[in-house]
Amino acid sequence: MAETSTSTDTRPSVSAGIGGGRRRDRAAGPPLRKPRWPKAYAFALVTGAFFLLSWLGQFFFQLVVQRNEASQDGQAFAWSEYLPQFLASTFENWQSEFLQLIWQAAGLALFYYWGSSQSRESDERIEAKLDALLRERNLDPENP
């Protein structure tokens, strides 16, 4: 069944885990270590890589379009005209994306706070479920 360590036994205690498996007690094992930097920030690194790739793609394809339009009009390509246009389109995209994100986050939080029908499960309903579970286990819900 379960082994426990005694005062003369220096082995870490092992107890039966879920499903009959064995698990090591957290106190007996080595202390938790922080993950290495790339693993700890993997999501941010991947998100940053996606951001840079998409921004470079926008830069490249918008550059191609600008050069093609300049050649069709018989004009020379000018970086002084391209960079402001690129930055304006970048900020326009960011503005629409951040506006959408802020609306989703703030709007959902506001609706959750107001208790909209999509996000509400009333306190009375939750309490009734808990009372039913307690009664099912022969516990008094009024006197825990």
At what angle are helices 79-114 and 42-72 packed, to 10 degrees?
140
| pLDDT, tens digit, 9 for 90 and up, residues 118-136 | 555 667 777 888 888 888 8
What local confidence, expressed as pLDDT, does residue 140 receive?
77
Mean pLDDT value across residues 43-59: 91
Indicate the average pLDDT of the chain: 77
SS3 track for 39-79: HHCHHHHHHHHHHHHHHHHHHHHHHHHHHHHHHHCCCCCCH
What local confidence, expressed as pLDDT, does residue 30 receive?
66
Measured distance CA(45)–CA(34) in Å, rounded? 17
Mean pLDDT value across residues 31-55: 86
Non-local CB neighbours of 70 within 8 Å, separated by 6+ positions: 76, 77, 78
| Number of residues assigned to the chain | 144
* Higher pLDDT, residue 53 or 7: 53
What local confidence, expressed as pLDDT, does residue 37 receive?
82
Strands (E) across the chain are located at 14-16, 22-24
Return left, alpha or beta for 18; rule: phi > 0 is left, psi -120 to 50 is alpha, else beta.
Answer: beta
Q: Which of 6-15, 47-56, 76-85, 113-122 has the lowest mean pLDDT?
A: 6-15
DSSP state of 115: T
| pLDDT, tens digit, 9 for 90 and up, residues 61-101 | 999 999 999 899 888 888 988 999 999 999 998 888 888 88
Measured distance CA(144)–CA(142) in Å, rounded? 6
